[in-house]
A and B are shown apart, each in its own frame.
Chain A
């Protein structure tokens, strides 16, 4: 079936560097793509979303890029901080999202001091 997946299970970066987390998807009918952050022992937390007819969206210290040609999504985190350590999931919504989110498997971002 349709799926959303990630290229790397773990990403280690130095504090202060920029982080790029990648995601591949297969559902061309997705309406929105969303990035969630899950810290240890907590539920996922919404970071940013992007509509499928856009190719870039910026938030506070984060940028999401969408390449529909190759069905690729990325989350860029600027000036990574220790508090950014978490598992990051990409998710997609299609058909208005009535049936919930379809999540990828997650990338564990580790911040090195």
Chain B
């Protein structure tokens, strides 16, 4: 079984709709991250969380919100989706100060 899972894997929605992307992990890691990947670009950080009570904005947080419901779950919401939020979204986990981040399989989101 995958250690980091994301749902849904693919989603097509319309402008103005509210969308939630979910991430779950079984690795027991304390830190979780949401990244966005656009064609020809590297991943960019949206939000990150050190634990359930700690949420921090990343480089491109505008238009997004997150919720850390439990240590194992970190969800990303688009309150009112717009076409330029069409992208691949990745969740990642990390344990403490370790360098390695473990990525989920990604969610492909298309906003029409």
Residues on A lying within 8 angstroms of B by beta carbon are 4, 9, 32, 34, 41-46, 49, 89, 91, 93, 96-106
Contacts and interface: CB of A to CB of B under 8 A. Distances in A.
Nearest to B2: A43
Interface of B: 4, 33, 35, 40-45, 48, 50, 56, 58, 90, 92, 94, 97, 99-106
A43 B104 contact: yes
A49 B90 contact: no
A34 B99 CA distance: 8
B58 A100 contact: yes
Contacts, number: 61
A7 B19 CA distance: 36
B106 A106 contact: no
Nearest to B34: A100
B40 A105 contact: yes
A101 B104 contact: no
Contact of B99 (A42, A93, A99, A105): A93
A44 B43 contact: yes
4 pairs of A and B residues whose beta carbons are closest in the complex: A103-B42, A43-B103, A100-B45, A46-B100
Given A34-B100, A49-B99, A100-B92, 20 more contacts: A42-B106, A43-B103, A43-B106, A44-B43, A44-B103, A46-B100, A46-B102, A97-B97, A98-B50, A99-B45, A99-B58, A100-B45, A100-B48, A100-B101, A101-B101, A102-B42, A103-B43, A105-B40, A105-B41, A105-B42
